[in-house]
Amino acid sequence: MTSGTLTLEEIEEGESAEILSIDADGGKFRKFIYMGLYPGATVRVIRRGPAGNPIEVLVDDLLRIAVRKRDARMVKVRKGS
Amino acid sequence: MRVAFVGNPNTGKSTLVSSLSGRDIRVANWPGTTVESISAQVRVGEGVLHLVDLPGVYDLLDDGPDAEITLRELLENPPDAIVNVLDASHLERGLHLTLELMELGIPILLVLNMVDEARRSGVEVDSGKLEEVLGIPVVETVAVKGRGKEEVLSGILRARVPAPPVSYGEDVELALEDIASGIEHPARRWLALALLMEQERPFFPIDDSLRDVVEGWRRLLSARYGDLFLYIEGRRISVAHEISSRVVSRRKRRRAVDEWLDALLMNPVAGPVFILLFLIFSFRFAFFLSSPWVDFINTVSDVLGGWILSAGIRGIVASFLIEGVISGVGTVLSFAPVLFLFYLVLGFMEYSGIMARMAFALDTLMAAVGLPGKAFVPLVMGFGCNVPAVYATRTLESFYDRLRVALMIPFMGCSARLPVLVLFASVFFPHGPVPVVLSLYLLGMIMAFITGAILSRMLEYEAPSLFEIPPYRFPDGGRLVKTAWDRTFEFLRGAGTIIMAGVVLVWLTMHLRISGESLYSIISRGILPIFRPMGIQDWRLTGALIPGFVSKEVIIGALAVGFSDMANHLPIGFLEGIGMILDAFARAVRESMGAPGAIFGIPGFRIPPVETSLGDYLSGVLTPAGALAYMVFVLLYTPCVATVAAIKQEFGGRWALFSVLYQMSVAFILALFIYKIAVLIHG
Closest to B83 measured CA to CA, from B54, B59, B41? B54
Confidence of residue B25 (pLDDT cuts 50, 70, 90): very low
Domain that holds residue B280: 270-682
Give the highest mean pLDDT range of B33-42, B355-364, B509-518.
B355-364
Q: What pLDDT, on the 0 to 100 scale, is given for residue B559?
A: 78
List beta partners, residue B38.
B27, B53
Are B112 and B22 part of one and the same domain?
Answer: yes
Alpha helices in B206-269 (DSSP H): 208-225, 228-247, 256-265
3-state DSSP call for residue B448? helix
Instruction: Write out pLDDT tens, residues A12-32.
Output: 999 999 999 888 876 778 788
Are B185 and B149 part of one and the same domain?
Answer: no
Q: What pLDDT, on the 0 to 100 scale, is given for residue B580?
A: 92
Q: What pLDDT, on the 0 to 100 scale, is given for residue B634?
A: 94
Are B359 and B478 part of one and the same domain?
Answer: yes
Average pLDDT over residues B600-612: 60
Q: What pLDDT, on the 0 to 100 scale, is given for residue B600?
A: 67
Kindly provide the ipTM of the predicted complex, given to two decimals. Answer: 0.91
Are B187 and B93 part of one and the same domain?
Answer: no
- Helical pair B149-158 and B13-21, crossing angle rounded to 10 deg: 100
What is the CATH classification number for the domain harbouring B28? 3.40.50.300
Are B93 and B185 part of one and the same domain?
Answer: no
Q: What pLDDT, on the 0 to 100 scale, is given for residue B567?
A: 52
Q: How far does A47 lie from chain B, in Å, by closest CA?
A: 8
Q: Is B258 on the interface with A (CB under 8 A)?
A: no
Confidence of residue B35 (pLDDT cuts 50, 70, 90): very low
Q: Is pLDDT above 50 for B117?
A: yes
Q: What pLDDT, on the 0 to 100 scale, is given for residue B29?
A: 35
Q: Is residue B262 a part of any domain in this protein?
A: no
Per CB-CB distance under 8 Å, the chain B contacts of A54 are 360, 363-364, 373, 465
Which amino acid is residue A10, in one-letter code? Answer: E
Q: What pLDDT, on the 0 to 100 scale, is given for residue B528?
A: 93
Are B479 and B442 part of one and the same domain?
Answer: yes
Q: What pLDDT, on the 0 to 100 scale, is given for residue B609?
A: 63
| More confident: B612 or A63 | A63
Mutation target among B10, B232, B267, B363 for the A interface, most CBs of A within 10 A: B363
| More confident: B198 or B600 | B198
B 302-361 near A (Cβ less than 8 A) = 356, 359-361
CA distance B304 to B46: 49
Q: Please answer whether residues B605 and B596 qualify as being in contact, where contact means their C-beta atoms are separated by less than 8 angstroms.
A: no
Which amino acid is residue B18, in one-letter code? Answer: S
Stretch among B4-8, B157-161, B324-328 having the lowest mean pLDDT: B324-328
Which are the contacts of A74, defined by CB distance < 8 A and separation ≥ 6?
A7, A22, A23, A24, A28, A32, B464
Are B471 and B540 part of one and the same domain?
Answer: yes
| More confident: B620 or B215 | B215
Q: What pLDDT, on the 0 to 100 scale, is given for residue B239?
A: 92
Are B185 and B309 part of one and the same domain?
Answer: no
The domain ranges of chain A are: 5-79
List beta partners, residue A55.
A48, A67
Are B407 and B501 part of one and the same domain?
Answer: yes
Instruction: Write out pLDDT tens, residues B373-393.
Output: 889 889 988 888 899 899 889
Confidence of residue A81 (pLDDT cuts 50, 70, 90): low
CA torsion angle B294 B296 B297 B301 (round to 10) = 140
Contact flag A34-B233 (C-beta cutoff 8 Å) = no
pLDDT-above-90 percentage for chain B: 36
Q: What pLDDT, on the 0 to 100 scale, is given for residue B564?
A: 41
Average pLDDT over residues B449-464: 80
Confidence of residue B38 (pLDDT cuts 50, 70, 90): low
Q: Is pLDDT above 50 for B33?
A: no
Mutation target among A9, A22, A31 for the B interface, most CBs of B within 10 A: A31
Instruction: Write out pLDDT tens, residues B49-83.
Output: 888 888 888 889 887 777 888 999 999 889 999 99
Instruction: Write out pLDDT tens, residues B191-209.
Output: 999 999 988 887 777 888 8
Q: Is pLDDT above 60 for B30?
A: no
Which are the contacts of B54, defined by CB distance < 8 A and separation ≥ 6?
B4, B5, B6, B13, B37, B69, B70, B73, B74
Q: How many domains does chain B have?
A: 3
3-state DSSP call for residue B49? strand
Confidence of residue B252 (pLDDT cuts 50, 70, 90): low
CA distances from B299 to B75, B137, B305, B646 (A): 53, 57, 10, 25
Average pLDDT over residues B131-155: 91
Q: What pLDDT, on the 0 to 100 scale, is given for residue B484?
A: 85
Confidence of residue B566 (pLDDT cuts 50, 70, 90): very low
Q: Is pLDDT above 50 for A9?
A: yes
SS3 track for B133-146: HHCCCEEECEHHHC
Average pLDDT over residues B663-675: 95
Closest to B614 measured CA to CA, from B443, B485, B469, B427? B427
Mean pLDDT score across all residues of chain A: 86
Average pLDDT over residues B584-601: 82
Q: Is residue B165 a part of any domain in this protein?
A: no
Contact flag B271-A49 (C-beta cutoff 8 Å) = yes
Confidence of residue B24 (pLDDT cuts 50, 70, 90): very low
| DSSP calls for B265-305 | HT-TTHHHHHHHHHHHHHHHHHHHHHHHHHHHHHHHHHHHH
Q: Is B270 on the interface with A (CB under 8 A)?
A: no
pLDDT-above-70 percentage for chain B: 93
Q: Please answer whether residues B572 and B580 qualify as being in contact, where contact means their C-beta atoms are separated by less than 8 angstroms.
A: yes
Q: Is pLDDT above 80 for B429?
A: yes
Sign of CA dihedral B242, B244, B249, B255: negative
Task: Report phi then psi at B111, rounded to 5.
Answer: -110, 120
Contact flag A68-B363 (C-beta cutoff 8 Å) = yes
Instruction: Write out pLDDT tens, residues B646-657.
Output: 999 889 899 999
CA distance A43 to A62: 10
Contact flag B268-A50 (C-beta cutoff 8 Å) = yes
CA distance B415 to B335: 13
Q: What is the pTM of this model?
A: 0.75
| More confident: A30 or B675 | B675
Q: Is pLDDT above 70 for B462?
A: no
Closest to B149 measured CA to CA, from B15, B19, B45, B22? B19
Which amino acid is residue B273, in one-letter code? Answer: V
Q: Please answer whether residues B551 and B331 qualify as being in contact, where contact means their C-beta atoms are separated by less than 8 angstroms.
A: yes
Task: Report phi then psi at A32, rounded to 5.
Answer: -65, -45
Q: Which CATH superfamily is domain A5-79 in?
A: Ferrous iron transport protein A (FeoA) (2.30.30.90)
Contact flag A38-B361 (C-beta cutoff 8 Å) = no
Minimum Cα–Cα distance from B364: chain A residue: A53
Q: Is B681 on the interface with A (CB under 8 A)?
A: no
Instruction: Write out pLDDT tens, residues B146-196.
Output: 899 899 999 998 999 999 999 999 999 999 999 999 898 889 999 999 999
Q: What pLDDT, on the 0 to 100 scale, is given for residue B603?
A: 53
Stretch among B267-271, B401-405, B495-499 having the lowest mean pLDDT: B495-499
Closest to B103 measured CA to CA, from B239, B247, B242, B244? B239
Closest to A38 measured CA to CA, from A65, A4, A70? A65
Q: Is residue B206 a part of any domain in this protein?
A: yes
What is the CATH classification number for the domain harbouring B177? 1.10.287
CA distance B228 to B360: 36
Average pLDDT over residues B302-312: 90
Q: Which of A37, A50, A62 sits opposite B272 (nearest CB)?
A: A50
Instruction: Write out pLDDT tens, residues B265-298.
Output: 999 889 889 888 888 888 888 878 888 898 899 8
Q: Is A47 on the interface with B (CB under 8 A)?
A: yes
Q: What pLDDT, on the 0 to 100 scale, is given for residue B668?
A: 95
Q: What pLDDT, on the 0 to 100 scale, is given for residue B28?
A: 38
Average pLDDT over residues B594-606: 64
Instruction: Write out pLDDT tens, residues B347-371.
Output: 898 888 898 898 899 888 888 888 8
Per CB-CB distance under 8 Å, the chain A contacts of B272 are 50
Confidence of residue A39 (pLDDT cuts 50, 70, 90): confident
Task: Report phi then psi at B451, rounded to 5.
Answer: -55, -45
Q: Is residue B75 a part of any domain in this protein?
A: yes
Stretch among B71-75, B579-583, B612-616 having the lowest mean pLDDT: B612-616
Q: Please answer whether residues B69 and A13 qualify as being in contact, where contact means their C-beta atoms are separated by less than 8 angstroms.
A: no
Q: How far does A70 lie from chain B, in Å, by closest CA?
A: 8
Q: Is residue B276 a part of any domain in this protein?
A: yes
Average pLDDT over residues B392-421: 87
| More confident: B601 or B131 | B131
Mean pLDDT score across all residues of chain B: 86
Are B189 and B322 part of one and the same domain?
Answer: no
| DSSP calls for B616-677 | HHHHHH--HHHHHHHHHHHHHS---HHHHHHHHHHH-HHHHHHHHHHHHHHHHHHHHHHHHH
Average pLDDT over residues B116-138: 90
CA distance A14 to B78: 50
| More confident: B540 or A14 | A14
Q: Is pLDDT above 70 for B335?
A: yes
Q: Is pLDDT above 50 for B659?
A: yes
SS3 track for B107-154: CEEEEEECHHHHHHCCEEECHHHHHHHHCCCEEECEHHHCECHHHHHH
Average pLDDT over residues B239-264: 85
CA distance B360 to B147: 34
In this structure, the number of other CB atoms found within 10 A of the CB of residue B596 comes to: 11
Q: Is B390 on the interface with A (CB under 8 A)?
A: no
Are B478 and B601 part of one and the same domain?
Answer: yes
Alpha helices in B311-417 (DSSP H): 315-319, 327-352, 354-361, 363-367, 376-381, 386-392, 399-408
3-state DSSP call for residue B187? coil
Q: Is residue B242 a part of any domain in this protein?
A: yes
Per CB-CB distance under 8 Å, the chain A contacts of B96 are 33-34
Are B153 and B176 part of one and the same domain?
Answer: no
